[in-house]
């Protein structure tokens, strides 16, 4: 397995994997997510791939076929009441359903940790939707722990 920055040639495969993630979220929260849709257009994906503030890394097999990805957002936090720091936010991490259990997700996560250290970040953060127990268990196994909880009150 190899991990590299995503490029235009990866748009089709990344789109397919984004669909796998969307379907998981649509099953968990059908009132929010629309099954059968896509999060990004191909043009939007290319823009994200080319932006150094939103790097996307892909795990590839021996044929350079994408088997997983991780979307990242580089953040610099500087508020009046907080010490300034840099962070990487993992916006999305997916391993193809057929590749799960082969440590691809772990390799992508550890790659992001190494990138964060290289860039002088203080932390790596992400969000996990309630109801996605498999994702939560995976991130806890990787050493992550809750920092804050976002709560909701449904009005309809």
The burial of 112, by beta-carbon neighbours within 10 Å (0-12 exposed, 13-18 middle, 19 or more buried), is given as buried
0.85 exceeded by the pTM?
A: yes
Question: What pLDDT shows up at residue 141?
Answer: 96
Give the three-state DSSP class for 69. strand
Low-confidence ranges of the chain (pLDDT < 50): none
**Assigned fold of 2-141:** Aminopeptidase (3.40.630)
Q: What is the pLDDT of residues 55-86, one digit of tens each?
A: 999 999 999 999 999 999 999 988 888 888 99
Reading the block at residue 34, the tokens are 């629309």
| DSSP E strand boundaries for 11-140 | 56-60, 66-77, 85-95, 123-126
Distance CA(44)–CA(50), nearest Å, equals: 10
Instruction: Please report, for residues 11, 62, 149, the alpha-carbon distance to residue 127 in angstroms, rounded to integers and kept in the order given.
Output: 24, 31, 9
Question: What pLDDT shows up at residue 120?
Answer: 96
**Which residues are within 8 A (CB) of 116 and not within 5 positions of it... i.e. 6 or more apart?**
87, 88, 123, 124
DSSP string, 77-103: E--TTS--EEEEEEEEEEE-GGGTTSS
How is the chain split into domains, by residue range? 2-141
Question: What pLDDT shows up at residue 10?
Answer: 98
């Amino acid at each position: 397995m190899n991990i590299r920055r995503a490029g235009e040639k990866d748009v089709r495969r990344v789109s397919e994997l984004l669909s796998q993630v969307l379907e998981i979220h649509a099953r968990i929260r059908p009132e929010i997510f629309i099954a059968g849709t896509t999060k990004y257009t191909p043009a939007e994906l290319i823009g994200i791939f080319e932006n150094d503030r939103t790097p996307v890394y892909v795990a590839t097999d021996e044929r350079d076929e994408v088997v997983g990805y991780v979307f990242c957002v580089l953040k610099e936090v500087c508020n009046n009441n907080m010490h300034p720091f840099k962070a990487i936010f993992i916006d999305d991490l997916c391993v193809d359903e057929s590749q799960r259990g082969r440590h691809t997700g772990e390799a992508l996560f550890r790659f992001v940790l190494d990138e964060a250290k290289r860039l002088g970040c203080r932390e790596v953060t992400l969000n996990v939707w309630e109801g996605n127990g498999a994702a939560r268990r995976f991130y806890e196994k990787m050493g992550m722990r809750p920092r804050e909880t976002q709560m909701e009150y449904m009005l309809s």
